[in-house]
Amino acid sequence: MAVRAVVFDWGGTLTPWHDIDLVEMWGAYAAAYEPAVDPVPLARRLAEEEAARWRLQQASLGADGTGALDHLFATVGIDVSTPRHGRALAAYLAHWDPHTLADPDALALLAALRGQGIRIGVLSNTMWPRWHHEAVFSRDGLLPLIDAAIYSSELPVAKPHADAFHAVLFALGESPEFTVFVGDRPWDDIHGAQSVGMRAILLPHSRLGDQAVAVAVSPDAVVQRLGEVLRVVEAWNTDGG
Ligand SMILES: [Mg+2]
């Protein structure tokens, strides 16, 4: 089967993996939200709520999605309509900026795939709003190269649930047998994509730690850097898949 679309995971795939301390990241929010108060207690509560959401997504096999940041804020009693929330959210997202830079191979890879008539999708498990992901992609020049992007912050489910993969296939107007998924997580990405009939390429450099789910998978290909995806797809298209 020819490859007509390639769908990428975001964190650890289009953007290289960074080890992140959630309490430290939420500290940027808390410090801007209540400047006169010790930021650590609020940062801890937000980090704990976020971690609980990720655990629920894992334990439910993605049937319970990630939810969105606004769910976390509601849970800890933050009024998201206030100016101080807006300032704090901006500080939090800016604090993430050094960790969201695109892989150095990403721009050339997406351009080369599109040059071969292949459509580009993104499917990310994320609590962040679409507008922030689009700002990140736009900053790094990737946004015009993406035909369809699905964020779990807008879905009731998350990877590896089949509905998440079907959502991006629907957005691309493509069938799974003509679509390749590229991701860094054996369970969420590789198992999930293969379960709906996609081929899956693993980029195995993320230090998943306690986010790793034990699963026996056989990726259709493994690449050591993102740019190698082009060679794999070209070989499948040359061989007729
Ligand atoms: Mg990932």
Query: In this predicted structure, what is the pLDDT of residue 215?
Result: 76
Pair of tokens at residue 103: 């892989």
Ligand 1 geometric centre to CA of 188 (Å): 8
Q: Which residue has the tokens 């190269």?
A: 145
Q: What's the angle, vertex CA 194, arms to CA 192 and CA 196, rounded to 5?
A: 75
Q: What is the CA radius of gyration of the chain?
A: 18
Task: Report yes or no: 62 and 55 within 8 Å, Cβ to Cβ.
Answer: no
- Bond from prior residue into 160 cis (ω within 30 degrees of 0): yes
For the stretch 10-50, pLDDT in tens is 999 999 998 899 999 999 999 999 999 999 999 999 999 99
Per-residue confidence at 1, pLDDT binned at 50, 70, 90? confident
Q: Which residue has the tokens 């953007």?
A: 15
Query: In this predicted structure, what is the pLDDT of residue 240?
Result: 58
Ligand 1 geometric centre to CA of 126 (Å): 10
Ligand 1 geometric centre to CA of 83 (Å): 32
For the stretch 94-114, pLDDT in tens is 999 999 999 999 999 999 999
Residue 38: partners with Cβ closer than 8 Å, 6 or more residues away? none
- Residue 11's φ and ψ, nearest 5 degrees, are -65, 125
Ligand 1 geometric centre to CA of 232 (Å): 20
Mean pLDDT of 188-212: 90
Q: Among the residues of 60-178, which ranges form H helices? A: 69-75, 83-96, 106-115, 130-139, 162-172
Pair of tokens at residue 46: 């937000």
* Candidate from 62-66, 79-83, 189-193, 225-229 with smallest mean pLDDT: 62-66
Q: Which residue has the tokens 């334990």?
A: 59
Ligand 1 geometric centre to CA of 6 (Å): 15
Q: Which residues pair with 15 in a beta bridge?
A: 11
Pair of tokens at residue 191: 């198992």
- Total count of residues recorded for the chain: 241
* Euclidean distance between CA atoms 22 and 49, whole angstroms: 10
* Euclidean distance between CA atoms 192 and 30, whole angstroms: 35
Ligand 1 geometric centre to CA of 62 (Å): 14
pLDDT greater than 90 at residue 216 = no
Pair of tokens at residue 39: 């930021």
